[in-house]
Structure 1
Amino acid sequence: MYIPARKIKAKVKGYRGKEPFFSSGLMIHWDSFLERDYIRLADFDQDVHELYHQPLCIHYMQNGKRLRYFPDFKVILKNGKTLIVEVKPFELLDDPKNQIKFEVGRRYCEEKGWLYQVFTEREIRPGELQQNLSILRRVKLHRTDPVILKFLLDEFSKCDEIDLISFRNRCSDIEDHLFYLHLHSLVYEHMIKVDLVDEKLNEYSELR
């Protein structure tokens, strides 16, 4: 098996759907719901700057046949590094065809000084994370008020840790829908921390 150096070509095909990648303002194609959920995860990741779906084609030889491999995503990190990501269900990791593609991807990335990683549902959908991200991502569809954001942060700075319902009582002057819109925005932007994996967001979630 060898990986010849050649010009990268984009894959032309149909897609099952598109998901907004708010960090760049682009709509990113996906071919499976697991890929869609990876997009949501990457958008929430503070280290991710840009994301592209199936941006390259890697040509390789196997048993005398010329084959092509289209990795799922190219990720540009904020530190300038490039990561090629393959999304696969955990049960398919040991499939011989997939193992060959993984090795082809790793070798290709090594030659270019990039990173290569395979993500499964174990990394993409731990606990309640995706359910919570579905809630938090809605704030991106609405305009937030900088005055309310600052007020919430000022109030939160007076606390060490506080559960959501107690914090809601501290900010009782703000209408309910505005409070949750702006709080969720602060959580999504990592300005207020909350455990998004072990439980669904609720009145007793600990803010820190």
Structure 2
Amino acid sequence: MIITSKEMHLEDGPAKKSIRRRRQNFIVNFPSLKNGYSMECDGVLESAYCIWLEHDARVVKYYTQPHTFTWIDNGQRYRYTPDFLVVLEHGDSYFTEVKYDFSKQRESRLAKLESFHALCDQEGWHFKLLDQKRIIGSTMFHTLQALYSRLRPIDAQQQEYFFHYLVS
């Protein structure tokens, strides 16, 4: 595999600008305490994943849409932006792709994810796939969600927004 991507600049914000595609996909600004600013997420499920990241003591910082990679695998050119880069204590990190249901993805999308996983293995990076069931399917998630809503002082409008989009 040949990587043709440019250098990664994480502090410049998301590598790609999000656009509204379907009714469940809209921009959610998640108020991250770990990062000290709002994280721009491509929907409710990604913002729900942020709750796990906020409560995971091993996570130092995380980035949404961190970098757009371009590579060639067996003559096929790919371009892909992972949903998250998660930085852990001791300098470890991993990329994450979040989808409601991977079994409902197009073959071409799954091939791209498989090729990116192979690229990560080649480069010594880690890559995770997380679906709706793994992110919001446990009772623990709902407890973390309620706890997170109480961690920072927010006004009534922000509280209403939070409950409307994340507690539905």
What is the TM-score when the length of structure 1 is the normalising length? 0.59
For 2:76 and 2:114, locate their aligned partners in 1 and report how far apart those are by CA, in whole Å: 17
For 2:80 and 2:72, locate their aligned partners in 1 and report how far apart those are by CA, in whole Å: 11
CA RMSD of aligned residues (A): 2.6
Total equivalences in the alignment:
142
- Given residue 124 of structure 2, which amino acid in structure 1 is its aligned partner? G
For 1:93 and 1:48, locate their aligned partners in 2 and report how far apart those are by CA, in whole Å: 30
Greater gyration radius: 1
Query: Which of 1 and 2 has higher RCO (CA within 8 Å, sep 6+)?
Result: 2
Indicate conservation of the 8 Å contact 1:52/1:75, yes or no.
yes
For 1:75 and 1:138, locate their aligned partners in 2 and report how far apart those are by CA, in whole Å: 21
Change (3 A) 1:104 1:63: closer
What stretches of structure 2 of length at least 5 have no aligned partner? 9-14, 20-25, 154-168
For 1:93 and 1:85, locate their aligned partners in 2 and report how far apart those are by CA, in whole Å: 18
Identity rate, percent:
26
Matches within 5 A, 1:27-38: 27-38=38-49
Partner of 1:50: 61
Structure (1/2) with the larger strand percentage: 2
Q: Deviations over 1:1-57 (max 9, x none)?
A: x44243146223446121022122121111121111011111111111111001111
Matches within 5 A, 1:111-150: 111-142=122-153
Cα offset, 1:125, TM superposition:
1.1
Change (3 A) 1:13 1:139: closer
- Given residue 99 of structure 1, which amino acid in structure 2 is its aligned partner? L
What stretches of structure 1 of length at least 5 have no aligned partner? 143-208
What is the TM-score when the length of structure 2 is the normalising length? 0.72
Partner of 1:7: 6
Change (3 A) 1:73 1:12: same
